[in-house]
Amino acid sequence: MKNILLIAGLLFILGGCTSEKTNFGKLQDRSGLLYLVNENKPFTGNVISYANGHIEFEGRIENGLRVGTWVYYHANGQKKTEGTFKEGTKDGLWNSWKENGQQDVAENYKFGKKLNSDGTFAETPKDTAAAKPAVKKEPAPVQYERLHGGAIKTLDGVPYSGPVIKYYIGDGKEYDGWFLHGKKSGRWTFYDKAGRVKNIKDY
């Protein structure tokens, strides 16, 4: 009988471990991937975050990226937002509620970008001066570490299009290139630490 109780107790403890959630505050962002402090492998597991004594949000991370269903809460415990992530970006239906539990808005996302009701990407405000003759100005490159996501790289939740640059730790350019809709595009140039071109690759 004692053996049966001992086994049952062990199973209960092991079962509890599998559902354990890691405090999100223990993770750190390294170039778009989430790691536990002092760990070299991207984090995988369920996470939870607290703010002022209440649950702020909870969800799952796999290989350093947000995946699956994530739920955010109001300070009174009511559900605030719920939706899914895919490879670190919003994907699918996201619902929001007011503090009294009343439905607020429902939005659809793909690759982290909001969709219109007909499934097309919602347009971002465009530069009204674009239609006027102007001197073409090359956009400033974004540091690669600011991009997030897996197969599709995003900046501020939107698939990034534009120039990027990355530097070696300390000094010296490591590479530069372009992204188009979150994917490498065009000519990328790679440099050694002395600043010499060591490779050129077209995507």
Nearest to 151 by CA among 181, 191, 192, 114: 181
Burial of 106 (0-12, 13-18, 19+ CB in 10 A): exposed
Share of the chain above pLDDT 70, in %: 83
For the chain, the structural domain boundaries read: 20-114, 128-202
Are β-strands 158-159 and 54-62 bridged in parallel, bridged antiparallel, or unpaired? unpaired
Instruction: State the Cα–Cα distance between residues 82 and 72, nearest whole angstrom.
Output: 6
Q: What is the pLDDT of residues 134-187, one digit of tens each?
A: 444 567 888 888 898 888 888 887 888 889 988 888 778 899 998 888 888 888
pLDDT for 8? 46
Return the DSSP state at 12. Answer: H
Q: Global pTM?
A: 0.55
Hey, which CATH number is domain 20-114, 1.10.287, 2.60.40, 3.40.1440, 2.20.110? Answer: 2.20.110
Q: What is the pLDDT of residues 27-45, one digit of tens each?
A: 988 878 899 988 899 999 9
Q: What is the pLDDT of residues 48-75, one digit of tens each?
A: 999 888 999 999 999 999 999 999 999 9
Instruction: State the Cα–Cα distance between residues 72 and 10, nearest whole angstrom.
Output: 33
Burial of 114 (0-12, 13-18, 19+ CB in 10 A): middle
Task: Give the model's confidence band at 14: pLDDT under 50 very low, under 70 low, under 90 confident, else very high.
Answer: very low
Instruction: State the Cα–Cα distance between residues 81 and 166, nearest whole angstrom.
Output: 35
Tell me which of 156 and 79 has the higher pLDDT. Answer: 79
Q: Can you give the three-state secondary structure of 62-123, one letter per residue?
A: ECCEEEEEEEEECCCCCEEEEEEEECCEECEEEEEECCCCCEEEEEEEECCEEECCCCCECC
